[in-house]
Chains A and B, each alone.
Chain A
Amino acid sequence: MPQATATDAPLAAPAVDVRDIAKSFRTGHLRPVYRPALRGLSFSIARGEIFGYLGPNGSGKTTTLKILFGLLFPDRGSATILGHPLGSRAWRYKAGYQPEHPYFYDYLTATEYLDYAGRLFGMGTTERKGRIADLLRLVNLEPVADVPLRRFSKGMIQRVGLAQALINDPELVFLDEPMSGLDPLGRRLVRRIIMDLKAAGKTVLFSTHILSDAESLCDRVALLRGGELLKVGALDQILTLDVSHLEVLVSGISEAALTGIPIRHRVRVGERLTLEVDEGRLGEVIRAIEAQSGRVLSVHPIRQSLEEFFVKEMGGAGRGEAWD
């Protein structure tokens, strides 16, 4: 593959480094109004990490990705990708992009489209054939490889989108709402592919408003609202520990035996019970359980979920934004 990368950037450079990028859109013709979409974003993504770009619809996630790929031009700011400036062609040989709600030429088959994508990277015929076969297997589209895309469902198109983003075996993959339109099996498949990419040392940026996906996959996340970054960091740093309440895992005790013990919430899973108790009453609860011959297996402070964090931070969606 002709990688136009004679001037390979140093490996120490972050995969993505965004500095003070701002963008506004003009609305109206007679009296134009400029609506800010991004307000001076700055963040960086280290090589090899899975970075979640989170925010409600309309918060600026797709606008950011479009600026990085040159589909929109920023009002101000700059960025480097894999150590190369945005305008450089070199990093594009090493990056893949799956757009949100992708549309591909419906007169082509999946094989033909991937072949076209491979040719744009200058890949040779043999290399393309091998890579296309691997990718169609990866996204479970082998049986429909030669069916025109116009007969594909939304979820299948989404998987073609993922395959074309990986055609060049990229070092850095940008996925814009990759779970959109996928059934549970498709979502599981995409999650597995993202984890495999990380295991192979690739960097993944994926934007989503589905918080459970971000929580289960991301090393770090950026939280976007109204074009502004609210937080950037590791989930463990962002999600605060709620030490006022504790989660106590117990076994060898029936629910009936818990009568009179001050418990806020209880969930039974097989032989075990998970109890949520106030921190000040922990000693009392443990003594009561031991008095009933139960066993305390673990005690943990309750960690805030990403969803709880979002709701708290945002107080609902911002203007022009919506959570699905």
Chain B
Amino acid sequence: MVAVAANTFRETVRERVLYNLVFFAILMTLCGLLLGQLSIRQDEKIIKDIGLAAMELFGHVIAIFIGIALVSKEIERKSLYPLLAKPLSREELFLGKFAGLGFTLLVNVGAMAAGLFATLLVTRGEADPALLKAVFAIYLSLLLVVAIAMLFSAVTSTALAAVCTVCLVLAGRFSDVVRNMKQVAPGVPDRLVDFLYFALPNFRNFDLKDKVTYGEFVPWHVLGWITLYNVVYITVLLGIGLACFRRKEFQ
């Protein structure tokens, strides 16, 4: 599994798209710097805001794009045939890919966070360590996106997996809308609304950007809860994905 994870990391690092996205994320942070100079006393907040938003946006694009490609591309190009013929179980292959991509995202988020901190240090002479809480939450949400992408890529084609992943991530980001359905559409059974609300991955849990940017304290137990939520949700998604991948036939 370690060998698969290491090769996955090497693959993603050698993808030029990845470099471009990191470059863009850093560019966005620099844009924030420029905007900050145009505002009075708001520069720090704008830099934090744009930096974290860019980190989240580009992280999601990377997670969706590569999370789907990693498994479905292997199936379509048949590059996993010689791998599965070796003493490597499907479980090890699947989880190894997840671990490799998780490490890639860690490196990327780390690089983007370093860029944001460097920008703040240069412009303000200080950087708020509380930002790391928001960065951590973003990283957790990216792992969840990868798990969703890998689940869909194990059960369907690349294109359909991309559509399904984007839809589920968007639905998860607007899960409050689902909860408000009780008021908007009273005819819909409450149980169905509750089921949908709790079944969808609630990405709003991971959104600590505003709180951190505006100096609001984020208690440690909140980070503990979202970590637990993340671990449980990812375990379920990977479990379903693995069950499908184990039964998959490679014609």
Contacts and interface: CB of A to CB of B under 8 A. Distances in A.
Contact of A99 (B4, B82, B88): B82
A121 interface: yes
Nearest to A95: B85
Interface in B1-54: 3-4, 7, 10-11, 14-15
A72 B249 CA distance: 5
A43 interface: no
7 contacts: A97-B85, A103-B78, A105-B7, A120-B86, A121-B86, A122-B87, A161-B82
B183 interface: no
A92 B85 CA distance: 7
A101 B77 CA distance: 10
Contact of A107 (B11, B78, B83, B251): B11
A102 interface: yes
B95 to A, nearest CB: 14
Given A89-B89, A103-B77, A116-B7, A25 B251 contact: yes
Interface string B132-164: 000000000000000000000000000000000
A69 interface: yes
B220 interface: no
B87 to A, nearest CB: 4
A66 to B, nearest CB: 7
Interface string A55-80: 00000000000100111110000000
B84 A102 contact: no
Interface string A151-185: 00000000001001100100000100000000000
A92 B88 CA distance: 9
A89 B87 contact: yes
Contacts of B7: 105, 116
Contacts of B10: 107-108
B87 A102 contact: no
Contacts of A164: 82
Contacts of A95: 85
Contacts, number: 71
B3 to A, nearest CB: 4
Interface of A: 4, 25, 66, 69-73, 89, 92-93, 95-99, 101-105, 107-108, 116-117, 119-122, 161, 164-165, 168, 174
Contact of A69 (B11, B77, B85): B85
Given A105-B11, A107-B14, A120-B3, A92 B81 contact: no
Interface centre among A103, A121, A174 (most CB of B within 10 A): A103
B3 A70 contact: no
A165 B15 CA distance: 27
A116 B87 contact: no
Given A89-B89, A119-B3, A73 B249 contact: yes
Given A117-B86, A120-B87, A102 B11 contact: no
Given A66-B250, A72-B249, A72-B251, A92 B79 contact: no
Interface residues of B, number: 22
Interface centre among A25, A71, A101, A108 (most CB of B within 10 A): A71
A93 B10 CA distance: 25
Given A93-B87, A103-B77, A72 B82 contact: no
A120 B88 contact: yes
A97 B86 CA distance: 8
Contacts of A119: 3
Nearest to A164: B82
Contacts of A66: 81, 250-251
B81 A71 contact: yes
Given A73-B249, A99-B78, A107-B14, A120 B89 contact: no
Contacts of A174: 85
Nearest to A174: B85
Contacts of B83: 120
Given A104-B82, A120-B4, 11 more contacts: A4-B87, A71-B81, A73-B249, A89-B89, A92-B85, A92-B86, A105-B79, A116-B3, A120-B86, A121-B86, A161-B82
A25 B7 CA distance: 33
A165 B86 CA distance: 9
A212 to B, nearest CB: 27
Contacts of B249: 71-73
Interface string B52-94: 0000000000000000000000000111011111111100000
Contacts of A97: 81-82, 85
A168 B86 CA distance: 10
B251 A69 contact: no
List 7 A-B pairs, minimum CB-CB distance, nearest first: A97-B85, A119-B3, A92-B87, A71-B250, A99-B81, A107-B14, A69-B85
A146 to B, nearest CB: 15
Nearest to A148: B14
A101 B89 CA distance: 22
